[in-house]
Structure 1
């Protein structure tokens, strides 16, 4: 029944109602023949003006009460009746659906009542015997009723247009807010995926080097030093990457240099240093690919080799193939599965899901799963992708 309005709106409405009351209450007070109902009509309309935006339904009831009081006082239509269109406008602009349609019905009914009220004397004369006054009564009824209907319906239509504009603005604001939420969620997803890539890769290297160092510390002490150097290097790089990701969480719009296919040599060196044998076949001119495609390819290779290091048979080499076709880049990573490994990567794992999403972000496709005693990852990344890389840029 009551809708929230600002303090400024409430003060403005009360000021308008007070000015209305001061101006138009003087008219019946100056006329000694005026009935109390005349003054009551002005008071009721002023009260309706005061609450027209706070409670349009009550304002509509107040407008009807004021009109009835005016008719009981046998007052002719006056200037203060201008409050009624303002109340009808407020009902259409700010009222609920039921109030809005009640205002429309009141406009039509009120127009008929006003026409009958103004032409009542002519109708009574025609009924009591002078039928010649009937055309005059009908004319008065038609003119007054039509003018009243046009005025009230125009006010109602303007109010409805305002309500439609307000609803449209709210919808745009909600759509903008929803878009911001989606963008934020995409950014969080991107950062979470990058965090997974960095942490999973780095920990896999650290674990492999630690296990190797523990086994070789007595027979080959120099290898222990090399393993510790690799652990330190990988840990420092991972810490730097994590700091960049955390900085992106703190400062919106922060950009960082993302890895590309030119960084694969360093990545391969890390994996080879961790004990993973690699056979790499790739085109010489991959640097011409777009940044989005290069980043997706790099992350797919990194995640695939991380899984190979964790779950693969390190006695057999893993193969990496990057081949250009007329339509895009084909990436294939194959590694032997360690039959003694307690857990193996599955097509539904978090890392595989992340790789698939990265391929899909550049309109590509990725398939991963066991193939005999090997695990095969195959991805196709089109070079003509037009979609912006929104979640893995």
Structure 2
């Protein structure tokens, strides 16, 4: 029955109600020797104004009480009746479906009651024998009733339009949030599939190395130490990849070839064949980076250059910078923006979500956004020790 309101909304509603009571109450008391009965109606209608957003149903009930108090005081329609359309608006804009239609019905019933109240004396005279007063009674009833109905129904219609706009805005927000969640879930599923292949490869290396060490234990003891070192390195890398895998919410056991930084030349050739020129600057020792780091870097570069192909200025080349640091890999992709095809820089873009997921999967960080007339993507990916490690095989094995 009560809606949650902010402190500011409550203060504003109370201030409006207090100002209403003070202004119209003093206006009614002006020149009066005693407190008129209309003051009670003003106070009750002011209370309805105070709760019109907090509890529309209560405001409608209190509003009817104020109208009854006004009629009981035999006070004709007055300026303070402007509170009634505001109450009807509040019921239509903030009330439930039942309250909204109760306000609609109250508008029609209230218009009829107002018409009868204003034309009550001519009606009584017409009924008691002065039939000549009937036309004036009907005219008064029709005019007051019509004006009241039009005013209240306009307020009700405005409230319904506001409620519809608010509901539409909430639906759009929910749809946007659902779309972002779906995009994130899809990207996590792809990441989980990629990590599955990485871990499977690491475990295969461990198994092959352990089998080779067992067979060579007597004939080549030095090879056993080399195999154990390899197993330790691969196991640590596999553990890191398993931790990444456990962060995912989805798992799909399909296998796929894992691209790395060595595959960038093929990607760049494809993009250049599509019309995008790319200038690449990269260090020479990138092959020593872990598989997960290389995969994340490859996907980030791939998505960034794909966006450059779609939204960038193809007359100017894009640039890719891959710098190895003591702690990891710095990736920067910059492309010129085509004013006719501006990129989506909002955090809701699925491409940006995917790149952030890729960086976050290896405990990295990614930032992207416009930089003057260019769009810049920067990422830092921590290094892992999942280098390409040869499998030790016993002599004669194939």
Q: Same fold (TM over 0.5)?
A: yes
Q: Hey, what's the Cα distance between the residues in 1 that align with 2:24 and 2:149?
A: 24
Shift of residue 87, structure 1, vs aligned partner: 0.5
Is 2:285 the counterpart of 1:260? no
Q: Which moved more, 1:213-222 or 1:6-15?
A: 213-222
1:192 is aligned to 2:175:
no
Deviations 1:153-197 (A, max 9, x none): 000000011111111111122222222222332333233222222
84 and 34 in structure 1: CA distance in 2 versus 1, 3 angstrom threshold? farther
Question: TM-score normalized by structure 1?
Answer: 0.60
Question: What is the CA–CA distance in structure 1 between the aligned matches of 2:268 and 2:29, rounded to whole Å?
Answer: 91
Q: Deviations over 1:64-84 (max 9, x none)?
A: 111111111111110000000
The reply on whether 1:172 has 2:178 as its aligned counterpart is: no
Match for residue 95 of structure 1? 95
Change (3 A) 1:138 1:200: same
Q: RMSD of the TM alignment (CA)?
A: 3.4
Cα displacement string for residues 83-119 of structure 1 (whole angstroms, at most 9, x for unaligned residues) = 0000000000011111111100000000000111111
Give 2:12's aligned residue: 12
SS of match in other structure, 1:196:
helix
- CA change 1:113–1:33 in 2 (3 A) is farther
Question: Counterpart in 1 of 2:21?
Answer: 21
Contact 1:28–1:34 under 8 Å retained in 2? no
The 1-side partners of 2:258 and 2:146 are apart by 75
The answer to which structure, 1 or 2, has the higher relative contact order (CA under 8 A, 6+ apart) is 2
* 1:86 aligns to 2:65 (yes or no): no
Match in the other structure for 1:106? 106
Task: Tell me the SS of whatever aligns to 1:201.
Answer: helix
Helix, strand or coil: the match of 2:37?
helix
Residue in structure 2 matched with residue 42 of structure 1 by the alignment:
42
**For the Cα contact (< 8 Å) 1:44–1:62, is it kept in 2?**
yes
Query: How much has 1:140 moved relative to structure 2?
Result: 0.9
Query: CA offset at residue 236 of structure 1?
Result: 7.3
SS of residue in 2 equivalent to 1:25? helix
Q: Tell me if the contact between 2:17 and 2:50 (Cα under 8 Å) persists in the aligned partners.
A: yes
1:126 matched residue in structure 2 = 126
Matches of 2:86 and 2:160, distance apart in 1: 13
| Secondary structure of 2:76 counterpart | coil
Alignment of 1:147-296 (within 5 A): 147-221=147-221, 224=224, 227-228=227-228, 231=231, 234=234, 259-260=258-259
Contact 1:261-1:287 at 8 Å conserved across structures? no
Contact residue 194 and residue 258 of structure 2 kept, 8 A: no
* 1:93 and 1:161 in contact (8 A); partners too: yes
Larger Rg: 1 or 2?
1
Give the C-alpha shift of residue 223 in structure 1. Answer: 5.1
C-alpha distance in 1, partners of 2:236/2:268? 27
Task: Flag the 1:178–1:99 CA change in 2: closer, same or farther, 3 A.
Answer: same
**CA distance in structure 1 between the partners assigned to 2:187 and 2:110 by the alignment:** 58
**What is the CA–CA distance in structure 2 between the aligned matches of 1:193 and 1:167, rounded to whole Å?**
39
The residue number in structure 1 matching 2:59 is 59
Q: 1:289 to 1:57 in 2, by over 3 A?
A: same
C-alpha distance in 1, partners of 2:261/2:23? 83
Q: How far did residue 212 of structure 1 move?
A: 1.7
| Unmatched runs of 5 consecutive residues or more in structure 2 | 249-256, 272-290, 292-349, 359-398
Aligned residues: 268
1:142 matched to 2:116 = no
- 1:33 shift after superposition: 7.0
Moved more, 23-32 or 123-132: 23-32
Contact 2:94–2:163 (CA<8 Å) still a contact in 1?
yes
